[in-house]
Structure 1
């Protein structure tokens, strides 16, 4: 049987473009044109065309000599994550979490500059904005957003913050780059994020990460509660243990399904 390449259905340019993206890693976050060509085993001229195309599309940036990926490549991962049907898989664990805490819970992934809701178990409506699967919120004032931002490599987080134009949605919101960096760094160290009425007055939420089998944050799970029936302390002491347990169960379920 002839191969796809020999029948004309195989796009070598696409293969090479994806190979160039895969050449970047935690050990090699920035590469020169020659290093990319050598890693992918293509000519420097071909590497240059691919890198300039990816730069034009926003997936790569350069400092005139070295190239690195931008957070936009996460959109490629979002297409995959959205196909996992997280709602079906995570549903039982979210229902249990909601029953234990008596509060709404959600799962979101990162599609900068936003988070995208991929699953939700509401109890009562506590926000003025109606949320459902596919709903978007800015990442910076949300607990899930800060957990997801904390999971970014340092250079991608810096790129996001450098271009962010954060607007105060409430008078309690943190909008300065320095302030956001501190809260995101704290979320990375603590393994959770708590937002106290920054997205909407009267709303508190706490979120924990969902990891893949390699330890990378690929989604976030949160519990939201009205300020009249919660405090930051109660969310940490009463809700956070259940939240972390549910996030771990979802991670395990995804791994067993072979998605991660």
Structure 2
């Protein structure tokens, strides 16, 4: 794969490479972002972070992305919702630079912030969002890892940012972690009045994306909304979407 850019800061190594028509960002051997503007939906992991946005039962206007990486998900969201206002937070300044310079994450409706997600949520008022995505990962030697535990306090912080009918998605590098969380945080979810929970998986990846909402959002409704876009219409052979949705709440 042709290397377009590389950078080293202390022990941190960054690479932007081209794989076919796709751009990829690697940090310490971990693939953080992949995006092809000519094939927005590719059947890859990042599609799982797009699907939950279609569960929102209205016009998506505001989204919060915690863990920007190269900004692939932001680009995907704004491909389908052109007027969407997106706030992106990442504790890695190089990631934000790459997102802007290589992945084209720019525009008046996109605000990128260099900060720890926990600190940012604690210090930036009480704005609410239609879609909140927790995609916070670090890692070494190709092994992605969450930098802090996902506990009841963090779940509460995220849910505070959900607008009425808002949708929360959390990416885990192992699907089993998502299933376990349903059990370990059952009391917290009941206290927060979580009405629906789904886990999205792609058979080609180990990840599991946990989707939660205080509203009775339905996967069938999300599928209907996606079918209005040809590249998301799973009835067509040309559709590259590849996921399984399991209801857990």
Q: TM range, normalised to the smaller chain?
A: 0.3 to 0.5
Query: If each structure's strand is expressed as a fraction of its own residues, which one has the higher value?
Result: 2
Q: Which has the larger radius of gyration?
A: 1
**Which TM-score applies when normalising by structure 1?**
0.32
Higher relative contact order (CA 8 A, sep 6+): 2
Query: If each structure's helix is expressed as a fraction of its own residues, which one has the higher value?
Result: 1
